[in-house]
Amino acid sequence: MKSAAPIAAVLASAASTGWALVLPAADANRGCSNVSHDVLGNSFCREVEQITYTGLAHKGSYQAVTSMGDSADQCGRQSKEYNSSLGVFEEELSIHIRGPFKLNQMAVYNFGCVNETWHRVSYYNASTQEADNLVFLGNYGGQGSGEFDFVWGNSLSYINADATAGSETPEILADVEIPSNKEFTVFSGQKCNGACGFSRVEDVAYHGFGGGNKAFLFDFQMPLDNTTGFNADMPALWALNANIPRTAQYNKCSCWPTCGEFDIYEVLASGDSRCKSTFHAARRGGTSDYFARPSGHAIKIAVVFSAKAEAVSVRVLDYDTVFGHHFTDATVDGWLEGPVDRTAVSTFRVTE
């Protein structure tokens, strides 16, 4: 294992100067230090508390959807270019959750260059039912809002407070556990009003969470429910390019996968106690190291997208972390940098 000090110094320097993060090769390309366990084609190495990704900076393009017609072959597309420090992940993202899952809090932050402070732009608290600048949607089009047809299926719609069906109007997610194979989506509370490109149903089209320097904090639990069947007892937390669900999340008429998906905490086998993390885009991949599934208790995590450091990090936080209105840049850099003792930290460089 390499000394922690050089890694921390490089991260801190990158974050403060805007230069790309360059991890020591032995750390960035580390394979399994322990025996790799293969489960249903998925390799698992060791449990960690932080995974940091590099190698996302590049320019490229993807096929953005421009129209959806009356038949499956009428999916209009147009090339959309990008060139950024995080590749396509500087674009707007939507947050997606599959049960069994209990979301206690969620907060979104953007970096302000003037005073170098991270400002909270969206917030949800289940116990107090506070929902500031975000909206809960799901693939229930035709149930009160959105639309359904036999070509493209269900569009996005507003969802009921239990996240189990559609709704005519926006509702705040209740303080409930989402059951297996039920999903919902979180967007910002700002309607697109035609400014997001093509959306299948403009009435339920909302902006995602954009910017090259953004952070998501989550307080959540993934209980075991011991169910069987499709997607049973396989909770997940992930982010998509917001253009994907605005057209068709589970249909071929979308820009997936080259426009971007980031699996943050995903259980890949029913009842498993391990969560993987993976990037899907032009540059893709993920480490075989994994997070422990928080089945018996809630945890808090920070997901930091840093164009300044050209890195993305998922880190387990102390549970006493408060999702306040502001964080200093030093605090968020500390989440990205990780602890001095890096025995529970994994680094991975994505590739084409």
Please name the residues in contact with 215: beta carbons below 8 A apart, sequence gap of 6 or more.
108, 109, 118, 302, 303, 304, 305, 327, 332, 335
For residue 124, what are its two tokens?
Answer: 């949800």
pLDDT band per the 50, 70, 90 thresholds, residue 34: low
Distance (Å, rounded) from C-alpha 318 to C-alpha 97? 22
The answer to whether residue 228 scores a pLDDT higher than 60 is yes
Quote the mean pLDDT of the chain.
Answer: 90
Predicted pLDDT of residue 115: 82
Strands 274-280 and 261-266, sheet pairing = antiparallel
Distance (Å, rounded) from C-alpha 215 to C-alpha 219? 14
Q: What is the average pLDDT across 72-81? A: 96
Predicted pLDDT of residue 33: 55
Predicted pLDDT of residue 142: 97
The answer to whether residue 7 scores a pLDDT higher than 70 is no
pLDDT band per the 50, 70, 90 thresholds, residue 35: low
pLDDT in tens, 152-177: 999 999 999 999 999 999 999 999 99
What letter would DSSP give residue 342?
A: G
Predicted pLDDT of residue 31: 53
Strands 311-317 and 213-221, sheet pairing = unpaired
pLDDT in tens, 278-289: 999 988 999 999
pLDDT band per the 50, 70, 90 thresholds, residue 122: very high
